[in-house]
Amino acid sequence: MTVSCPALLVSAPASNQGKTLITAALARAWRNQGLKVQAFKCGPDFLDPMILQTATGRSVYNLDLAMCGETDIAARLHEAAQQSDIIIVEGVMGLYDGNPSSADIAVKFNLPLALTIDASGMAQTFGALSAGLFSHYPSLIPAGVIANRTGSPHHASLLKDSLPAHIAWMGALQKRDELALPERHLGLFRATEINDLEARIASAASMLAESASLALPPIVEFKAPETSAIEPLLAGKTIAIARDESFCFIYEANLECLQTLGANIVFFSPLHDRALPDADAVWLPGGYPELHLEQISANQAMHSALHAAWKNGMPMLAECGGMMAASQSINESPAFGLLPGNSVMQARFQGLGVQFAELPEGRLHAHTFHYSTFVSALEPLSIASSQRGKAGEAIYRHGSLTASYLHFYFPSNPSAIASLFS
C-alpha cells in the first residue's frame, strides 16, 4: 500500500548551523496551525530527538541507513504518513557528511530538502552556497533555504535576494541569545534540563512564521516495505529499564521493539530508587553517569539490589554510560561494581560511529559515541566491527551481565534482543 504525506528533510552545510532549532521551529509553527507533525532524526542521535519531541508533542524516531536499514526506515515513514499531516526529518552533520549521508536518505525516500545556513558571516555568498549544495547531487528535490543567525531584517533581505529563482526562500531566524540551545561534550543539553525550552521553541516558531509564508512542503508517496512479523518471544517477561537524569539515552524504537516482543516495561532510577522493580531482566542504557558520581556512589541500597539480581542470574544489559555505571569506578569514584574494570573520562571522544556486533544470540546493529575509556582484565566476549570492517568496541559478558560501549538498535534483530533478556 502506498500513502502520501507532505514531507521535508532539513539539512545544512555543516554541524552547528542550527538544524535542531530550525527543525523544531518549523515543526512547532505547523503544529500551531493545528497540524499533526511527525519528526524524525537522521543518525543515531539521542539528544536532538528530545528537543523535537518537545516541539511536536510526539515520539521521535531515528533514520540511519547503516544502523536502522532501508526497510526499517521505509516502514517508519510509511506508518508516519498514515498518522500525520506533515513529516519533518532533521539531518545529521553536513548534508553530504557520512556514508550514508543525509543527502542519501533524502534521495532514497524522495524527501524534499530544506537547507538551513548560518548566515552570520555572509551576504550574497548565501545564494551561491545554496545553489552549490543543491546542484552537487542533482537527484535532490529542492524545497528551499532558511537563513539562521541573521543580523537584521535588511540582512535577511540581502540573503533572500541572493537566491537563484529556482530556490525558494523559507524564512530567517535572527541571532539572539535567548534562541540558542546549550551544549556539553555529548551534544545538546537534555530537553528537561533547558528550563525555558518551550519559550525558545515558541519564539523561534513565531519569528520564522513572520519572516516567510510557511506553506506545506511537497507531498511525498511512501510505499509499505515487506516486513516479517515479530514473535512475542518476551511474552510474560518484565524488563526494568533505568531512566533518569543519568540514564537517558533510549531509542523510542527500542522500547516499542520490547513491547512488540511481548515484554512489559517498567522504569526505575538507579540514582534515586533504593530497590529494583519486580522484573525478569534489567537494562542500563547510556547517559551521563560521570555527572552524577556522588549519587551513584552513595546509593548503597541500589548497589545491593543490583548485585543481588546479578547473583541470582537475572539477565542484564549495560550500554555505554550504563557500562560505566556497572564498572567498579568512574574517575576513581566507586560505581555499582558489577563489571570488573574501571572507567576514566578523557578530553576528547574515544569512539564514534555505527558498528555491527556478532553475539551468540545473533548479529546486532549499534552505535558508539563516548569520551571515556574502560580498562579491564576481563576477556571480551566479542569485538564489534565498523562500517569499514575495522575492529570496534569490545563486548563483555560477566555472568548474566552483557556490557559494551555500544548502543544497540533493537529492531535490527528482535529475536537476538529477546535472547539477551531471557
Q: What percent of the chain has pLDDT over 70?
A: 100
Name residue 119's amino acid: A
Q: How far apart are CA 286 and CA 323, in angstroms?
A: 8
Do residues 409 and 44 lie in contact, with contact meaning Cβ atoms separated by under 8 Å?
yes
Q: How far apart are CA 97 and CA 314, in angstroms?
A: 41
Three-class SS state of 344: strand
Do residues 236 and 281 lie in contact, with contact meaning Cβ atoms separated by under 8 Å?
no
- State the pLDDT at residue 178: 73
Tens of pLDDT, residue by residue over 105-143, are: 999 999 999 999 999 999 999 999 999 999 999 999 999
Residue range 185-192: average pLDDT?
77
pLDDT of 191 above 90 = no
CATH of domain 238-420: 3.40.50.880
Domain 2-223: top CATH class:
alpha beta
Task: Catalogue the active-site residues.
Answer: 320
Residue range 69-77: average pLDDT?
97
More confident residue, 106 or 185: 106
Sign of CA dihedral 44, 46, 47, 52: positive
Q: What percent of the chain has pLDDT over 90?
A: 89
Name residue 313's amino acid: G
Residue range 238-261: average pLDDT?
97
Going by C-alpha positions, the residue among 335, 328, 327, 331 that lies closest to residue 302 is 335
More confident residue, 179 or 23: 23
Going by C-alpha positions, the residue among 252, 256, 253, 260 that lies closest to residue 232 is 260
Going by C-alpha positions, the residue among 200, 209, 166, 152 that lies closest to residue 18 is 200
Do residues 40 and 120 lie in contact, with contact meaning Cβ atoms separated by under 8 Å?
no
More confident residue, 38 or 186: 38
pLDDT of 213 above 80 = no
- State the pLDDT at residue 304: 98
Tell me whether domains 2-223 and 238-420 share a fold: yes
Tens of pLDDT, residue by residue over 310-327, are: 999 999 999 999 999 999
- State the pLDDT at residue 197: 87
Average pLDDT score, the chain: 95
- State the pLDDT at residue 176: 82
Domain edges within the chain = 2-223, 238-420
Going by C-alpha positions, the residue among 289, 279, 286, 288 that lies closest to residue 258 is 279
Residue 361 confidence class, pLDDT cut points 50, 70, 90 = very high
- State the pLDDT at residue 41: 98
Which of the residue ranges 223-232, 257-266, 305-314 would you say has the lowest mean pLDDT? 223-232
Q: How far apart are CA 27 and CA 52, in angstroms?
A: 8
Residue range 249-267: average pLDDT?
98
Residue range 378-401: average pLDDT?
96
Residue range 331-343: average pLDDT?
97
Residue 211 confidence class, pLDDT cut points 50, 70, 90 = confident
pLDDT of 309 above 90 = yes
- State the pLDDT at residue 190: 82
Going by C-alpha positions, the residue among 366, 399, 412 that lies closest to residue 227 is 412
